[in-house]
Amino acid sequence: MSETLQSYQLHIELARRARIEVGRLGRFTLEAGRYVYTGSARRGLEARIRRHLSANKKPHWHIDYLLAHPAAQVVAVRRSRTGECRLNQRAGGSVPVHGFGASDCRAGCGSHLRYLGGL
């Protein structure tokens, strides 16, 4: 049995510093630069990615709040057979907001959003 795609990474450029409010996570400031967000969908991976890339949506996931900011742009999407947490841990970078995108994480990732550095 072949493994199916189960995870994805959104590579995001934030053109300028951004102040964002995300539900229970509260308000925080993200520095301008490159970010990678790792997510998964057991079913409907392509539909989830299309939703993230859509401009007209009601915010549901943490990443929706970041992507709604005018300075944020998804510059690449990568799909993977690797599990979400393993893929996230391989991304490198630093954790800009503890808990972002990781409310159901059991692997101790800290965040599924990683800051990779300036532009």
3-state SS, one letter per residue, for 45-71: HHHHHHHHHCCCCCCCCHHHHHHCCCC
Domain-embedded: residue 1:
no
Residue 105 has pLDDT above 90, yes or no: no
Query: Does residue 2 sit within a domain?
Result: no
Tally of domains in the chain: 1
* In-domain check, residue 24: yes
Among the listed residues 93, 91, 87, the one whose alpha carbon sits nearest the alpha carbon of residue 107? 87
Taking only the tens place, the pLDDT of each residue in 22-46 is 988 999 999 999 999 999 988 899 9
Residue 48: domain span: 7-117
**pTM of this prediction?**
0.93
Residue 51 domain flag? yes
